[in-house]
Structure 1
């Protein structure tokens, strides 16, 4: 028996969507780390992890726009890795939240010789 009666509302915070985006982007081979501001750099040096570092999310209704800033490992193709990040982030957000991802904008903040983690 299926009961389609709605008993309440589910709201997903922008921070949750940003965390999903940051984690999924970090899983792409060639991505060294997410870029963040000075606050994130200090937190990172103190050992605090922030999966939403370098991620800005705007959710309107059932659509999302994601802006990411990442560091790539030296030697990887920037266009190829950027496209993989866009695809992986969009798929992860859609499958975990049901949101339609309108855009995933990727900014390459730098290229790293060694991991900054």
Structure 2
């Protein structure tokens, strides 16, 4: 029996009850926020995520790993960027966008947002038919 870990938003109970967020929700928010940044080609997931996506289900948390720490959550994001962009600038934009999205939507404490650039995508020009 594995205990599902959740993030407790109000450190206990309020007058109405407890509020908890599953790490998968954080993964989806971070994945969507990262994919909005110009220069990001794709997020990289594991083999299982690729199979699920090929079967028709969009996996918005792919390439995102969330760990619950003592100071807050740590987000690790694996991306492929477009050729020609400034890698440090795009990575910083990704961090900023994820931070803003998580603060706006969940108000959780963020310990770290780590960006792992795994590749560069080169646009292959389509051959013109004559």
TM over 0.5: yes
User: Which residue number corresponds to residue 104 of structure 2?
Assistant: 95
* Runs of 4+ with >4 A deviation: none
Alpha-carbon deviations, 1:63-91, whole Å to 9, x = none?
21100001101111100000000111011
Of residues 26, 39, 46, the one that matches 2:55 is 46
User: Which residue number corresponds to residue 37 of structure 1?
Assistant: 46
Alpha-carbon deviations, 1:33-77, whole Å to 9, x = none?
100111112222222211100101112467211000011011111
User: Shift of residue 109 of structure 1?
Assistant: 1.2
Matched residues, number: 110
Of residues 87, 90, 107, the one that matches 1:81 is 90
SS of the equivalent of 2:45 reads: coil
Distance between the aligned counterparts of 2:120 and 2:56, measured in 1? 22
Stretches of structure 1 that go unaligned for 5 or more consecutive residues are none
Where in structure 2 are the equivalents of 1:1-117 lying within 5 Å?
Answer: 6-60=15-69, 63-114=72-123
Contact 2:44 2:62 survives alignment (8 Å): yes
| Greater relative CO (CA pairs within 8 A, separation 6+) | 1
User: In terms of Rg, which structure is larger?
Assistant: 2
Stretches of structure 2 that go unaligned for 5 or more consecutive residues are 1-13, 124-130
SS of the equivalent of 2:28 reads: helix
More helix by share: 1
Normalized against structure 2, the TM-score is what? 0.79
Change (3 A) 1:62 1:10: farther
